[in-house]
């Protein structure tokens, strides 16, 4: 259905997802022109009037995260100067979310910095999916709708598995809340992988909390980056008697050696959303399956525009 005062625009980070969202709500994509100068500077122009309208800009701040973030900020500025009534940034994957606290002396809280940049640039609302830490919502001075992929994962698991054999597993202690929410939805048991992380992107699995023998273990996390944690956890679970190990992650960052690790791993499959556009090298591993968040995000966009409840989408 066409919404008279709604305009949807796509950044360059994930045009297929943006188009899918537009298709889902049966609304045309807005006309936006991009250009990069030879030194890398970004220029964009909104090629239609948005004066007094609600502008939604769909852009994940994934790799290249700094360029995609700058593109987002420049759109906000352009929309503000074009007199848009509201500027809602739809950020399926919110980069810098892992830096949500001071982890050591003299380190930044980059998630707060990025939140300030978006707020000060002129955005009036943020729509995102599965923030790495939910308290990041409090870093913003504007409303934030953080929706969850767990309902999508729960439905997919129910459709493709015998729940009598399923056990949900958190890959670390910090993910227990997420794992418990999925386990409660499916009415199955839960286990925890206890690990130590001696350095960034390096994880050493220590032991398994829970009896996983004879179970199809499903690891659940908000993101997978280099895949070291998932692959290590899968090996540990199989050593403890699990019959099969799969993983569901909201955001497939999948950088560095992730493709090689997945291809060589004992994971049965990795299920991710399309919050981040995946290169061929990831899909060619044969281990990755994608679930689209376009219907979920599209419904959230229309509910924001119509001033209706968002929380009922995932409760």
Summarised one tens digit per residue, pLDDT across range 2-38 is 689 999 999 999 999 999 999 999 999 999 999 999 9
40 is in an annotated binding site: yes
306 labeled binding residue: no
- Together in a domain, 298 and 285: no
Q: Is 225 annotated as a binding residue?
A: yes
Q: pLDDT tens digit string along 271-291? A: 999 999 999 999 999 999 999
Work out how many domains the chain is built from and give that number: 2
pLDDT digits 0-9 by tens, 82-141: 999 999 999 999 999 999 999 899 999 999 999 999 999 999 999 999 999 999 999 999
Distance CA 129, CA 4 (A): 26
**CATH number, domain at 67?**
3.40.50.2020
10 falls within a domain? yes
Same domain, 130 and 219: no
Residue 247 lies in a domain: yes
- Together in a domain, 165 and 283: yes
* Residue 250 maps to a domain: yes
Residue whose tokens read 């206890």: 194
Residues 107 and 50 in one domain: yes
In this predicted structure, what is the pLDDT of residue 219?
A: 98
Does position 203 have pLDDT exceeding 60, yes or no?
A: no
* 156 is known to lie in a ligand binding site: no
Residues 196 and 100 in one domain: no
Q: What is the pTM of this model?
A: 0.94
Quick one: 84 and 203 in the same domain? no
Contact 61, 103 (CB under 8 A): no
Determine if residue 77 is labeled as part of a ligand binding site.
Answer: no
The two structure tokens encoding residue 199: 């350095």
Residues 141 and 217 in one domain: no
Encoded tokens for 30: 């807005």
For 46, residues 6+ apart whose C-beta sits below 8 A from its C-beta are: 9, 30, 31, 32, 55, 75, 78, 79, 82
Q: How confident is the model at residue 205 (pLDDT cuts 50, 70, 90)?
A: low
**From 80, 195, 204, 287, the catalytic residue:** 195
For residue 311, what pLDDT is reported?
87
* 1 part of a folded domain: no
In a shared domain, residues 167 and 194:
yes
Q: Is the pLDDT of residue 199 over 70?
A: no
Do 143 and 15 fall within a single domain?
yes
Percent of the chain with pLDDT over 70: 96
The pLDDT of residue 3 is 83
Tell me which residue range forms the domain holding 204. Answer: 150-291
Token pair, residue 239, equals: 């050593």
Residue 134 among known ligand-binding residues = no
Catalytic (active site) residue 195? yes
């Amino acid at each position: 259905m066409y919404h008279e005062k709604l305009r949807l625009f796509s950044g360059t980070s994930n045009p297929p997802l943006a188009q899918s969202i537009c298709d889902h709500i049966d609304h045309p994509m807005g006309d936006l022109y991009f250009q990069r100068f030879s030194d890398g500077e970004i220029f964009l122009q909104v090629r239609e009037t948005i004066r007094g309208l609600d502008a939604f800009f769909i852009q994940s701040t994934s790799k290249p995260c700094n360029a995609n973030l700058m593109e987002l900020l420049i759109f906000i500025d352009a929309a503000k100067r074009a007199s848009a009534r509201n500027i809602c940034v739809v950020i399926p994957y919110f980069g810098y979310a892992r830096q949500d606290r001071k982890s050591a002396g003299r380190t930044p809280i980059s998630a707060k910095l990025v939140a300030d940049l978006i707020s000060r640039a002129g955005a009036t609302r943020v729509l995102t999916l599965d923030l790495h830490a939910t308290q990041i919502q409090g870093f913003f001075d504007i409303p934030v709708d953080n929706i969850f992929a767990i309902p999508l994962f729960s439905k997919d698991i129910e459709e493709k598995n015998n729940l009598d054999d399923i056990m949900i597993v958190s890959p670390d202690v910090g993910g227990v809340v997420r794992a418990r929410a999925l386990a409660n939805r499916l009415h199955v048991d839960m286990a925890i992988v206890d690990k130590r992380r001696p350095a960034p992107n390096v994880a050493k699995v220590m032991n398994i909390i829970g009896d996983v023998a004879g179970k199809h273990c499903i690891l659940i996390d908000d993101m997978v980056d280099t895949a070291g944690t998932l692959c290590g956890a899968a090996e540990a679970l199989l050593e403890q008697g699990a019959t099969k190990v799969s993983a569901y992650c909201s955001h497939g960052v999948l950088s560095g050696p992730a493709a090689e690790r997945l291809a060589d791993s004992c994971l049965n499959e990795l299920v991710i959303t399309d919050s981040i556009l995946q290169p061929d090298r990831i899909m060619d591993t044969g281990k990755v399956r994608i679930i689209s968040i376009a219907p979920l995000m599209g419904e959230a966009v229309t509910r924001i525009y119509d001033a209706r409840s968002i929380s009922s989408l995932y409760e």
